[in-house]
Structure 1
Amino acid sequence: MIIAVTGTPGVGKTTVSKLLSERLGYEYVSVKDFALERGIGERVGDELEIDVDELADAMAGEFKGRDVVIDGHLSHFVPADVVVVLRAHPRLIAERLEKRGYPRKKLAENVEAELVDVILVEALEENENVLEVDTTGKTPEQVVEEIIGLIEKGITRRVGVVDWSGVYDDVLPYLDLGG
């Protein structure tokens, strides 16, 4: 089974993916590491710009028939049996990205992306089986238990779990509203 774990930077993808792969006995794969090893994409400043079609083709060929957890904010573009979209309160994302030293503009872009469900919408456009999981206030272990529980119950689609529309005022200081 291929499980793709995706979400806005700062939601806990890597921590959850590594724990999930360990618990299930699956191989762990980082999208970024895979792309770098295979020469997919190109460096633009500090960023790695990845061609998602090339990534999807390469990963589909490499991991077909294997048990793997694919970690990365582009993993929802890779053919997977189930895509797990991790979500977190936008203020929490802002705080985590600040600690990582993200530039103000990049931080604002990611807070806005979480606020308006960008990754979830992309995941739903690309995949049938999408599980949305709110990580806010949960330990990584609790998130992994929730994911495993959903998969074991045969739930293949669970969305609409998160609605950040009520927290706009809370995250206003982190947004780049121009002007």
Structure 2
Amino acid sequence: MIIAVSGTPGVGKTTVSKLLSERLGYEYVSVKDFALMKGIGEPVGEEVEIDVDALAREVRAEFSGKNVVIDGHLSHLVLADVVVVLRLHPKVVAERLKSRGYSHQKLAENVEAELIDVILVEALEENESVLEVDTTGKTPEEIVDEILELLEKGMKKRVGVVDWTGAYDDVLQYLMLGGD
């Protein structure tokens, strides 16, 4: 089974993915590391630009029929048996990214993406089985327990779990309004 764990930067993908793969006994795969190893990703500054179509092909070729947890904010764009989209209150995302030294522009882009469900919408466009999980105020263990419970129930789709429209005022200071 291929499980893709995706979400906006700062939601806890890597921590949750590693714990989930450990609990399931699955191989852990970082999208960034995999793309670099396969020559389909190129370092640009501190980020890695990845050919998403090539990523999808390589993941299918390498992991079809295997048990893996694929971690990365592009993992929802590969063909997976289930995509878990982690969500986190946009203000917490902003605070985490700020502490990581993100530029104001990158911070604003990611806060806006979380606010308006960008990853979730893309995941739904690409995959049949999408499970949305709100990580706000939960430990990694609680999040993994929730994911495992959803998988054990055979749930194929769970979306609409979060609605950040009420969070707009909380994150206004982090957004780039008026083309700043």
Report the TM-score range of the alignment, normalised by the length of the smaller protein: over 0.9
The equivalent of 2:25 in structure 1 is: 25
The equivalent of 1:66 in structure 2 is: 66
Stretch moving more, 34-43 or 140-149: 34-43
The equivalent of 2:168 in structure 1 is: 168
Number of residues paired by the alignment? 179
The equivalent of 1:82 in structure 2 is: 82
The equivalent of 1:34 in structure 2 is: 34
> Would you say the 8 A contact 2:32–2:41 is kept in 1?
no
C-alpha root-mean-square deviation of aligned residues, in Å?
A: 0.8
| Offset, 1:16 | 0.2
Unaligned 5+ runs, structure 2: none
Q: Give the SS at the match of 1:169.
A: helix
The equivalent of 2:48 in structure 1 is: 48
| Offset, 1:45 | 2.7
Q: Matches of residues 95-110 of structure 1 in structure 2 within 5 Å?
A: 95-110=95-110
- TM-score under structure 1 length normalisation: 0.98
Unaligned 5+ runs, structure 1: none
Distance 2:102 2:28 in 1: 26
> Would you say the 8 A contact 2:108–2:174 is kept in 1?
yes
Distance 1:166 1:66 in 2: 41
Q: Give the SS at the match of 1:86.
A: strand
The equivalent of 2:144 in structure 1 is: 144
| Offset, 1:41 | 2.5
- TM-score under structure 2 length normalisation: 0.98
Distance 1:45 1:139 in 2: 31
Q: Give the SS at the match of 1:49.
A: strand
| Offset, 1:79 | 1.0
Q: Matches of residues 115-130 of structure 1 in structure 2 within 5 Å?
A: 115-130=115-130
Q: Give the SS at the match of 1:79.
A: coil
Distance 2:46 2:132 in 1: 29
| Offset, 1:47 | 2.1
Distance 2:113 2:75 in 1: 16
Distance 1:118 1:81 in 2: 20
| Offset, 1:78 | 1.1
